[in-house]
Amino acid sequence: MLQELKRSPLYLILFAVMAIMLLPFFWTVTTSFKTPQEAQSYPPTWIPKQLRWQNYIEAWNAAPFGRYFLNSLFVATATAIGGVITSVLAAYAFAKMNFIGKNVLFYLLVGTMMIPGQMLLVPNYLTIVKLRWYDTYQALIVPWVANVFGIFLLRQFFRTIPDELWDSAQIDGCSRFRFLWQFVVPLSKPALVTLFLFRFIGSWNAFLWVLIMTSREEMRTLPVGLYYFIGEAGTDYHLLTAAATFAMMPIIFLFLVAQRQFIQGVARTGLK
């Protein structure tokens, strides 16, 4: 007890910093329930006088947010699944197979990590147009299914699986491909879940790429839809905060459910 008391300044600092970190979220959610008058009142109120769910309905109807939401969900899910599949295959080759040019290809991958993604926007835009993928889901998914960080993460994980397992499977007449899906993949579930979550969030949060590669309203994802909504809503903060809340909530929910995987994933690899 005395020990805890001695540490009370530490708690005070921690609590203050945490409050600052979370204040924007608190403020967003509370404002999303205020009436238009209350949202623009000064001085602002900390707790809404009444819960106005109407804001969510109004924001949802003011722009096709339902469509944006489904687009985000579809694009992020497809990108994440595709990313896991390509990474599993490539990582397995790097971790457990011998082939000509292995080092060269590996350093090629390491090299790409230095390239700022934005540098490639212009040529990629021209490629997308040439493929006639402009304004399609392919344009939002396919370029992002290969992921160097994912390959590194899984390669590290696969290397911990003992070779004896493969040797005995081989004696039983198991093909390498079957071995990969029936033994390696189930054993690596935590790493695969981590990778899936990171790819999902990365895709869900993407902005500039979607802004450039699409023009039709039906193709917009939540972040791009939200951007156009700022222009329409102006200072209608009760609607803007409602829209921001439902763009953030799925990701925050996902994070809270799987926070252990996330934090360990980041701590281990610095994965982005």
**Which of the residues 45 through 84 are near another protein (CB under 8 A)?**
none
Match 């990108």 to its residue by tokens: 79
Pattern 166-205, binding to another protein, x per CB under 8 A? ----------x------------------------x--xx
Task: Report in angstroms how near the CB of residue 164 gets to another protein at its nearest.
Answer: 18
Q: Choose between 101 and 186: whose C-beta lies nearer to another protein.
A: 101
**Taking the chain, what is the end-to-end CA distance rounded to the nearest angstrom?**
40
Return the residues of window 19-38 that contact another protein according to CB under 8 A. Answer: 20-25, 27-28, 31
Of the ranges 62-70, 162-170, 182-190, 237-245, which one interacts with another protein (CB under 8 A)? Answer: 237-245
Do 257 and 240 contact (CB within 8 A), yes or no?
no
Match 């623009």 to its residue by tokens: 40
Quick count: other Cβ atoms within 10 Å of Cβ 173?
A: 7
| Amino acid, single-letter form, for residue 272 | K
How far, rounded to the nearest angstrom, does the alpha carbon of residue 74 sit from its chain's CA centroid? 13
263 binds another protein (CB under 8 A): yes
* CA–CA separation, 32 and 55 (whole Å): 7
Helix and strand numbers (H, E) in the chain are 17, 0
Q: Choose between 13 and 70: whose C-beta lies nearer to another protein.
A: 13
Look at residues 225, 210, 224, 79 and name the one whose alpha carbon lies nearest to residue 134: 210
Q: Choose between 16 and 165: whose C-beta lies nearer to another protein.
A: 16
Selected from 110, 168, 227, 257, the binder of another protein by CB under 8 A is: 227
Tokens of 185: 């993949």
Return the residues of window 125-144 that contact another protein according to CB under 8 A. Answer: 125-127, 142-143
Quick count: other Cβ atoms within 10 Å of Cβ 185?
A: 17
Of the ranges 49-57, 162-170, 188-196, 229-237, which one interacts with another protein (CB under 8 A)? Answer: 229-237
Task: Report in angstroms how near the CB of residue 66 gets to another protein at its nearest.
Answer: 17
Selected from 79, 87, 188, 194, the binder of another protein by CB under 8 A is: 87
Q: Give 103's contacts (C-beta < 8 A, 6+ positions apart).
A: none
Of the ranges 62-70, 157-165, 186-194, 263-271, which one interacts with another protein (CB under 8 A)? Answer: 263-271
Task: Report in angstroms how near the CB of residue 162 gets to another protein at its nearest.
Answer: 19
Q: Choose between 54 and 127: whose C-beta lies nearer to another protein.
A: 127
Instruction: Tell me the backbone φ, ψ of residue 235, rounded to 5 degrees.
Output: -105, 25
Selected from 57, 70, 110, 122, the binder of another protein by CB under 8 A is: 122
Q: Is the peptide bond before 162 cis (omega within 30 degrees of 0)?
A: no
